[in-house]
Structure 1
Amino acid sequence: MDILDYETIKQSDGIGVIIQNGKCSALITAPFSWIIDKERNHPDFLAAIYQRNLNLKSAYEKREWIYVNIIVKSKNICSFDDFILDQANHIKREFPDSKIKYDTRNFEKAQKIIYREITNENKSHRAITGFIDFDNFIFYEALITPSEFFNKNIRKLD
């Protein structure tokens, strides 16, 4: 059970929301004691998820938050493989010392989920992204977490 204090929750926060990019949408829910920031004013993602009583800036500074996005398939990115390759190339350019690992898991809720983990010996945090490939779009949520909280926070992507 999660007990909410509606006095402290901002008007733009919630524990569940529908995110949308064009005609593609997904229903997402927040992990226990976290909230979804619905203010979609960031060019790189549709929603941010972080601990209640924080804001996006403080969650970012703690390196403990999730960002969620929908990429609509188009002429530029017409397949899941195109998207993953484009992302990998960007990561290698921006963070050349980073290591990327992939893992595929099959779940009842989706045909398969591809997990990507990015690590860097020079950083104290890890980035784990779960991708789901749909016919017209790709949904993903990326968890940024301090390495010491990895085992606790990885479950937030379920």
Structure 2
Amino acid sequence: MSAVPYAAQSGGQRLPDYDDLRAGRALAADFTNQGWRDHLGYADVPVFTPTEGGRELWRIAQPYDFVFFEHWATDTTGHRRQLGEAVKLLERFDAFLGGLLDAATLEETLIVVSSDHGNVEDCSHGKHTENRVPTLLLGAQRRVYAERVRGLTDFVGVIEDFLLGPRLPSSLAG
């Protein structure tokens, strides 16, 4: 289990499972659910194009204030040094993001796209790179928050402020 699902479970969150996927309450990390059919043998899960998967994630996200979607296939592809597959994955991600943006209410939503490290941009060695990782902020208040993001640790404050509103420092509160 990778760090994100482990952290969620440690925090008391229930991870979506096969029943959620089959019932349309979850979307697999491949954006399409196809891997659950092809590699795990679950013939009854719905399958989407990447664009449809983006729209589906938007639909699934509606009851929630915060949704974290982890896509790890680019990482494993980079480690396997498969440049051709990396290009295909990035094309699928582009279609997925297009579907998500088409469906999203961007006036009320902040979409953050980032990574914890690079490697897919250089498949020549199969290791993580030290390249700076681009971050996309799309939607509401993106320009305000873009000024504040310089690294992964900056996301906590940005997400808290977006969801809860800016807070005064404790020395000024009350």
Please identify the structure whose Cα radius of gyration is greater: 2
TM-score normalised by the chain length of structure 2? 0.31
Structure 1 or 2: more strand by fraction: 1
Structure 1 or 2: more helix by fraction: 2
